[in-house]
Amino acid sequence: MIQTPYYLIDRAKLSRNMAIIDRLRARSGAKALLALKCFATWPVFDQMREHMDGTTSSSLYELRLGREKFGKETHAYSVGWADHEIAEAVGYADKIIFNSIGQLERFDNQSAQIERGLRLNPRFSTSGFDLADPARPFSRLGEWDAGKIETVMERISGFMIHYNCENADFDLFDRQLARIEDEFGGLLRRLKWVSLGGGIHFTGEGYPVDKLADRLRAFQDRFGVQVYLEPGEAAITGSASLEVTVIDILNNGKDLAIVDSSVEAHMLDLLIYRQSARMETDGDHPYMICGKSCLAGDIFGEFNFPAALNVGDRLSIADAAGYTMVKKNWFNGVKMPSIVVRELDGSLTLKREFGYADYESSLG
């Protein structure tokens, strides 16, 4: 039995998402790039690269990982490239997307040998969190002034427009894309490609995938561009869990179960956005599931179980792929979860285990 805690990636569940991506690509003509900012666990890239066209990145290290571990088409984006990064970035990338006109002009000569794009901010988004809203007031994420963009159109071949966030509403996507068409259509017609970013929850239950595909096809045909999508969460939703063990039970007004993991260290997004973890369980025995760090608010959430919990019980926390392994940290020196893959035949493969040497080397 593999020692907890560990992230468990299930290839069969991943296959379900990959099949939807295949269907969307085939019907729409759009290409799909894995957004490494959400999921960069390369031991399953062998499976994903059969169904996706490449990767997109947010930093030099993500860019290099995409080129070396995934291959295929490699898009390079960063909010800000540094002088010492640009030559290496251009060496790894097929396309480089600049966040601002200033960066495009600053690195004009260094980037001239590959295709270049610019991030376009449409000044609206679907994000329900100000923290993650790319169109928030005074946003630094992309250019929005069509007049300014017009002055550099001869230097770029594409736009990246990332404005969706877990958007499961196709009609809203349709209306917002129509706004982009109306406001920036003159510029779009002069491009070779347009990335519509990530955040479209097209692998969610009941999402009208064919409608999305037809809408993307119509956009491509209207403007004569190659559309890219950058699925992160959509590529891996429902495909992984965080496996933990109960290490203590106590009652301080509620029944509490402490597990050998930490929200702060292992599922940080839950803490940042004040969300509860998901656990597929139900019953008449309520418990607050708590992490083992010293942070008072290190709480996974409150859940009902079919029987009373005991020390040694194993629990499975769902939806543990996106924004988990890319954000895990060594807070409190809590042991970092191993990475385990459930193969298609049901067997478990331990891909990576982290120990004291990893903790020590991360600090000096």
| Structure token digits, residue 160 | 């990246």
| Count helices and strands in the chain by DSSP H and E runs | 13, 16
- Say if CB 318 and CB 278 are below 8 A apart: yes
Longest distance between any two alpha carbons in the chain, whole Å:
67
The answer to whether 269 is a known ligand-binding residue is yes
> What CA dihedral angle connects 350, 73, 66 and 217, to 10 degrees?
-70
> What CA dihedral angle connects 115, 120, 125 and 130, to 10 degrees?
100
Closest CA to 192 of 252, 114, 131, 267: 114
| Structure token digits, residue 109 | 């000569």
DSSP output for 91-115: HH-SEEEESSHHHHHHTHHHHTTSE
Class of residue 133 by CB neighbours under 10 A (exposed 0-12, middle 13-18, buried 19+): middle
The answer to whether 233 is a known ligand-binding residue is yes
Fill in the DSSP letter of residue 342. E
User: 3-state DSSP call for residue 54?
Assistant: strand
CA 94 to chain centroid, in Å, comes to 20
In order of 64, 127, 156, 280, the CA distances from 113 in angstroms are 18, 35, 12, 51
Cα separation, 335 vs 358, in Å, equals 10
- Say if CB 245 and CB 260 are below 8 A apart: yes
Other CB atoms within 10 Å distance of the CB of residue 69? 16
| Structure token digits, residue 85 | 């990064």
In order of 38, 90, 226, 231, 278, the CA distances from 93 in angstroms are 19, 5, 18, 19, 37
Residues forming the annotated binding site?
A: 233, 269
Residues forming the annotated binding site for substrate?
A: 233, 269
